[in-house]
Structure 1
Amino acid sequence: MQVFYTGAEWQKNWLHALQSHKIIGFVPTMGALHEGHLDLIRNSKKSSDITVVSIFVNPIQFNNQEDFDKYPVLIQQDLKLLEKENVDFVFMPKLETMYPEKPSISIQFGELETILEGEFRPGHFSGVGIIVSKLFHIIRPHQAFFGQKDLQQVAVIKRLVADLSFPVEIITVPTRREEDGLALSSRNLRLNSEERAKSLILYKSLCSAKNELLEGTNWLEVRNQIQQRFEEEPLAKLEYFELVETEKFTVMNSFDSSQKASICVAAYIGNIRLIDNLPINP
């Protein structure tokens, strides 16, 4: 496994891959790796000749400075995991490499940045779009792998690739969960034991809502039931619980079984913000 820190260091390896007609798979991460990240890497290794993983905590996608400051940094642990997975290359740029100066541009994603995550995290997707664009320009992968848990982010990145004509295929990998259903997330490391137990309200609510919809219950009635469930849990504060069309990520006011739909949720458990989603008819 080779670690590099600048685009110039990667250039000769990219040229060699190009000349050898090898497929480059790319997994961008912010570190604090878990099995969900490893699923992305394993998918890359199955369909690519070379797998590149980046580790970079991107400051401009955080709209809460405290959240950025508390983001777990576990570099040595991460590198051991990546070596065990036989990753070919790891890109670990310094902050000044990615941002010699504060970016003066922003990227707008239309309605995608006004709903759900976009509404509650203003500027977040612009920050995501800028860093992903930079990473795509540096790595120049043929394929890039993203987790379904960040479903709206996947929609944003697909829009970025389409609008800016990046020659990269975006591959979505299903959400990895704990045995009790909690979606794996680096933020889970910050939950205390009580918060960890109460965090299951997200997954249980998604499953309950999915079952109700499949049985024919009206969506607005389902959502009201879930909102009531959150109001009865003192440790939980619901931000949104919405039904979306999975591919275009547009909000739906009723369930239509002829369309691919997913339920999305975001909530605070204590002071930790968690998100999750569940496809109804994948």
Structure 2
Amino acid sequence: MKVVTTRAEVREERAALGRLGFVPTMGYLHDGHLSLVREARARSEHVAASIFVNPTQFGPGEDLASYPRDPERDLALLEEAGVDLVWLPQPGDVYPSGFATSVEVGDVADVLEGASRPGHFRGVATVVAILLGVVRPDLLLVGQKDLQQSVVLRRLAADLSLVDEVVVCPTGREPDGLALSSRNAYLDEEDRRAATVLSRALRAGRAAYDAGERDAETLRRVIRDVVAAEPRAEIDYVSLADPETLVELQGPVDRAAASMAVRVGRPRLLDNTLLHAPDPGLG
């Protein structure tokens, strides 16, 4: 595995690689990240990854400084997983002196996380555009756990022709259903127990949908009520939206993305499911 830091090194190494799958990360890797690597290996000849805690997607007062980091462990995991190339840049490598460009992705970036964290998806879209422009992969692999991010990145890739295909992989989960996330490291024992309310709420929504319930507000309320019953959980939003546009649904629904942001103790946790599609992790 080759580890590089500069754009020039990435381009030099990329020139020697064939069909390439790319997994961008902010590090502190877990099996959800590694599942993306495994999918990339199955779909492409070579795999590249990046580790970069992107400052432009953090707002004032968010956890940029304290975001968990362990690059040595991350590199060992990526090498074991069979990654060929890792870009480990510093902020100045990604945003050189005089950098002044940002990328806006439109309405899909303005709701849900975009409404709660203004400017977040501008930072995400900008950094991913930079990473794709330097790495030049054939495939970009992202996780469904960050549902809105996957929608934003599919739109970015399509509009700017930055990559041939965006592959969205299923959410990785702990045995008790908790979605894998680097921010789970912030949970103490009691909050870790309480955090399973997100997956339990989504499971209740899926059960209602599978039993024939199709009214959007009823499904939204089923999910919200489960979360609200957990005293350690503070709801930011519970959404039932169109899976492509993320517009909130009303009345009878067919295809629907159920998603939420819930603060449990210190971390603000995300989870989601597509009610119209199988979700093995939720049963």
Shorter-chain TM-score above 0.5: yes
Cα deviation per residue 1:240-275 (whole Å; 9 max; x = unaligned)?
111122233332124423x3x221011000121000
Unaligned runs of 5+ in 1: none
* 1:267 paired residue number: 262
Q: Does 2:184 match 1:185? A: no
Match among 20, 26, 32 for residue 28 of structure 2: 32
* 1:246 paired residue number: 243
The alignment covers a number of residue pairs equal to: 276
Q: Does 2:135 match 1:139? A: yes
Superposed displacement of residue 164, structure 1:
1.2
Match among 217, 221, 230 for residue 218 of structure 2: 221
* 1:55 paired residue number: 51
Match among 133, 154, 170 for residue 174 of structure 1: 170
Q: For the residues of structure 1 that align with 2:180 and 2:274, how far apart are their CA atoms?
A: 17
Superposed displacement of residue 96, structure 1:
1.0
Deviating above 6 A after TM superposition, structure 1's stretches of 4 or more consecutive aligned residues are none
Q: Which amino acid aligns with 2:166?
A: I
Q: TM-score, normalised by structure 1?
A: 0.93
Q: For the residues of structure 1 that align with 2:224 and 2:262, how far apart are their CA atoms?
A: 11
Q: For the residues of structure 1 that align with 2:99 and 2:221, how far apart are their CA atoms?
A: 41
Q: Which amino acid aligns with 1:262?
A: A
Q: Does 2:270 match 1:281? A: no
Q: Output aligned runs, 1:37-116, within 5 Å.
A: 37-101=33-97, 103-116=99-112
Q: TM-score, normalised by structure 2?
A: 0.92
Percent of aligned pairs with the same amino acid: 39
Superposed displacement of residue 23, structure 1:
0.3
Q: Which amino acid aligns with 2:182?
A: S
Secondary structure of the 1:68 match is coil
Q: For the residues of structure 2 that align with 1:15 and 1:211, how far apart are their CA atoms?
A: 49
- Higher mean C-alpha deviation, range 67-76 or range 95-104: 95-104
Superposed displacement of residue 102, structure 1:
6.9
Superposed displacement of residue 94, structure 1:
0.9
Counterparts in 2 of 1:119 and 1:103: CA distance versus 1, 3 Å = farther
Secondary structure of the 1:250 match is coil
Counterpart contact for 1:113–1:122, Cα < 8 Å: no
Cα deviation per residue 1:222-251 (whole Å; 9 max; x = unaligned)?
323443443332211011111122233332
Counterparts in 2 of 1:88 and 1:275: CA distance versus 1, 3 Å = same
Q: Which amino acid aligns with 2:221?
A: N
Q: For the residues of structure 1 that align with 2:98 and 2:163, how far apart are their CA atoms?
A: 27
The root-mean-square deviation of aligned C-alpha atoms, in Å, is: 1.6
Counterpart contact for 2:144–2:169, Cα < 8 Å: yes
Counterpart contact for 1:26–1:141, Cα < 8 Å: yes
* More helix per residue: 1
Q: For the residues of structure 2 that align with 1:244 and 1:84, how far apart are their CA atoms?
A: 38
Counterparts in 2 of 1:64 and 1:211: CA distance versus 1, 3 Å = farther
Counterpart contact for 2:198–2:227, Cα < 8 Å: no
Match among 193, 197, 201 for residue 197 of structure 1: 193
Q: For the residues of structure 2 that align with 1:122 and 1:73, how far apart are their CA atoms?
A: 24
- Higher mean C-alpha deviation, range 224-233 or range 44-53: 224-233
- Higher mean C-alpha deviation, range 180-189 or range 208-217: 208-217
Counterpart contact for 2:146–2:271, Cα < 8 Å: yes
Q: For the residues of structure 1 that align with 2:113 and 2:276, how far apart are their CA atoms?
A: 22
Counterparts in 2 of 1:143 and 1:253: CA distance versus 1, 3 Å = same
Superposed displacement of residue 63, structure 1:
1.3
Q: For the residues of structure 2 that align with 1:27 and 1:10, how far apart are their CA atoms?
A: 14
